Structure 1
Amino acid sequence: MYIEQAFKALHDWWRYIIGVFIIVFGVFIGQIPFTAAVLLKAFKDGENPSGLDQSAMMSYLEPNLNLFLMLLSFAVGLAALLLVTKYLHKQSFTELTTSRKQIDWKRFWFIFLFWGIISSGLVVADYYMTPEHYELNFQLKPFIILCVIAIIFVPLQTSFEEYLFRGYLMQGIGVIVKNKWMPLIITSCVFGLLHIANPEVEKLGPMIMIYYIGTGLFLGIMTLMDEGMELSLGFHAANNLFTALLVTADWTAFQTHSILKDMSDPSETALSEIFVPVFVVFPIILFILSKIYKWTDWKEKLFGKVEEPVLLTSEIDNIGNDTNL
């Protein structure tokens, strides 16, 4: 079982506390170039940096530079997280990712292409149905640069969030509280609340937190039912990557040189864009995946107990040899 993979590693509660501090510190270090670039530009423009709120800072730089520096902090955070799991917990990358003997990349690519095609199709369909809501934003050279940045760094950003919430914290909280529903709820709520600084929240109001927390629940359920993170990794990467390339808006976190720019008033469609994905689209996707991958015993996988498995003598010896940490 996926959460129980943590029992094969060093899983003392204090290790997870130290690990979270190290990971947060890594993200902080990764944010320094972005903050420095914003401050430098503000001084050059003769503006007071303290007058820039979070939303202004996220759109202050040239879009491609802004995107690169924003995503850099997630890349550093991911590196810190992987170092923590390797050296502090002595856990393999595979055991952090899945309960299978090997990472099933077919699952990753299936959901990546599945959701990439569907989400892109929805944008294209909306463009043709309501062309007045969009403005052509395509510029060849900036778009090519955007593609390079997005293809490399967006998957690092989404992987950091997945490995932190659906991986490290899901397993860590699970082996501490000895059940599955609590890590699912906690990681989903924290995942949602960490998006509270996004400009979308300022524009659409606190109701959008239903979408963020609901997305966290959706990805968490997907991880627990499939006993691994391959599907959540692929879905999250596709969702953010195709969005970054296809459409942007003045009020979104990703200000990019995308193909289209959404000029509509988000308050007019807020309810449908928040509630339809969470209560219609996500359940349908879970149903489809359950049929493809033959998920069963939902109650046990989502609400069951987390019990420490009986380890082989060789596994106990390997863990014991690492107690010098």
Structure 2
Amino acid sequence: MYIEQVKNSRFNIWLYLPIPVGFIGLMVLNFIGTQGMDVEKMMHNMIEQLGTNVTFVLMVGPLSFACLFLLFWVKFVHGQSIRSLTTSRPKVDWKRIFFSFGLCSTITIVMILLAYLATPENYVYNFKPGPFFTFLFLGMILIPLQTSFEEYLFRGYMMQGIGVVTNSRLIPLLITSILFGLMHAANPEVAKIGPLIMIYYIGTGFFLGILTLMDEGLELSLGFHAANNLVGALLLTADWTAFQTHSILKDVSEPSAGFDIVLPVFIVFPILLYIFARKYKWKNWKQKLTGKLLLVEKID
């Protein structure tokens, strides 16, 4: 019933279109603008001139404010409650958010620890108390807003809007997952590792989209995405990543497209789906992922 919450007379396609069209336009302009540029060198120059934490704020801050703008647009332009953009439940289930956050945090910590123990020569100790705790403060505020914006935009606003227009669940799952992956096409990781890393980004989009449709809400994807970005940024950084931070460790190895893509997309994500499915007793997978929308009598 998550998508169906906006299937009513208040849904106005002309009020809906400016957000996705505008964002996709910005994605295209950003991708075109970075072609032929050494994004990694540009990031290094910014960090040398402004510092790592200031550069982080400039990179993440706009998306954090975009989250607040999107929620304002939904609430006051569409007249839709933030609750209905977040979940089909009577109220937001914070236990789901914290469970997903904790599970993803644990997996991230274990994977980084195992990688460090397996190849310690690929990592250097990067911890500096002052800059680290400054970043911790900034990250705890900005990263959840940044990841929430992406979830509310792709798995919330666009999932519901495309679903209502197409009367489908599969079509919005496909479109939002692919667009989510393409949003990262201008990241320095793509230039460094190659286009195969898009499998990871698009695969992550599908994983988060399946979470949303099967659980009938954003809670699990909100918790997972926030933990993935925040905990990862606190523990590990590299010169070729979009997030260059005052983390505890720094990866100094030469990246390659291989096991780092296969492990999360084809092993970790299916295991997580199994865990969530067992815990929350998911049923009717075919209907929830590929079926038509259901009729609803009353919508908040």
The TM-score with structure 2 as length reference comes to: 0.91
The aligned amino acid for 1:302 is: L
Q: Is the Cα contact below 8 Å between 1:82 and 1:93 reproduced in 2?
A: yes
Query: Secondary structure at 2:7's aligned position in 1?
Result: helix
Runs of 4+ in 1 over 6 A off after TM superposition: 22-27
2-structure distance, mates of 1:271, 1:22: 34
1-structure distance, mates of 2:12, 2:18: 10
Q: Is the Cα contact below 8 Å between 1:134 and 1:260 reproduced in 2?
A: yes
- Aligned equivalent of 1:36: none
- Aligned equivalent of 2:79: 90
Greater RCO (CA < 8 Å, at least 6 residues apart): 2
Q: Is the Cα contact below 8 Å between 1:245 and 1:259 reproduced in 2?
A: yes
Query: Secondary structure at 1:266's aligned position in 2?
Result: coil
Using the TM superposition, give the Cα deviation of residue 25 of structure 1 relative to its aligned residue in structure 2, in angstroms.
Answer: 9.5
Using the TM superposition, give the Cα deviation of residue 55 of structure 1 relative to its aligned residue in structure 2, in angstroms.
Answer: 3.3
* Aligned ranges 1:217-228 → 2 under 5 Å: 217-228=206-217
Query: Secondary structure at 1:235's aligned position in 2?
Result: helix
Deviations 1:264-287 (A, max 9, x none): 1112xx211112211111001001
Given the superposition, is the C-alpha separation of residues 23 and 80 from structure 1 closer, same or farther in structure 2, using an over 3 Å criterion? farther
- Aligned equivalent of 1:292: 279
Q: Is the Cα contact below 8 Å between 1:192 and 1:216 reproduced in 2?
A: yes
Using the TM superposition, give the Cα deviation of residue 8 of structure 1 relative to its aligned residue in structure 2, in angstroms.
Answer: 4.8
2-structure distance, mates of 1:254, 1:77: 18
* Aligned ranges 1:3-152 → 2 under 5 Å: 3-8=3-8, 10-20=10-20, 53-59=38-44, 60-61=46-47, 62-152=51-141
Q: Does 1:277 align with 2:277?
A: no
Runs of 5+ unmatched residues, structure 1: 32-50, 316-325
Using the TM superposition, give the Cα deviation of residue 86 of structure 1 relative to its aligned residue in structure 2, in angstroms.
Answer: 1.0
Q: Does 1:196 align with 2:185?
A: yes
Using the TM superposition, give the Cα deviation of residue 121 of structure 1 relative to its aligned residue in structure 2, in angstroms.
Answer: 1.5
Q: 2:245 aligns with which of 237, 256, 275?
A: 256
Runs of 5+ unmatched residues, structure 2: 31-35
Q: Is the Cα contact below 8 Å between 2:5 and 2:84 reproduced in 1?
A: yes
Q: How many residues align?
A: 290
The TM-score with structure 1 as length reference comes to: 0.85
Query: Secondary structure at 1:231's aligned position in 2?
Result: helix
Deviations 1:51-105 (A, max 9, x none): 9643333342211111111111011211121111112211000000000000000
Looking at CA atoms only, which structure, 1 or 2, has the larger radius of gyration? 1
The aligned amino acid for 1:232 is: S
Q: Is the Cα contact below 8 Å between 1:24 and 1:77 reproduced in 2?
A: no
Aligned CA-pair RMSD: 2.1
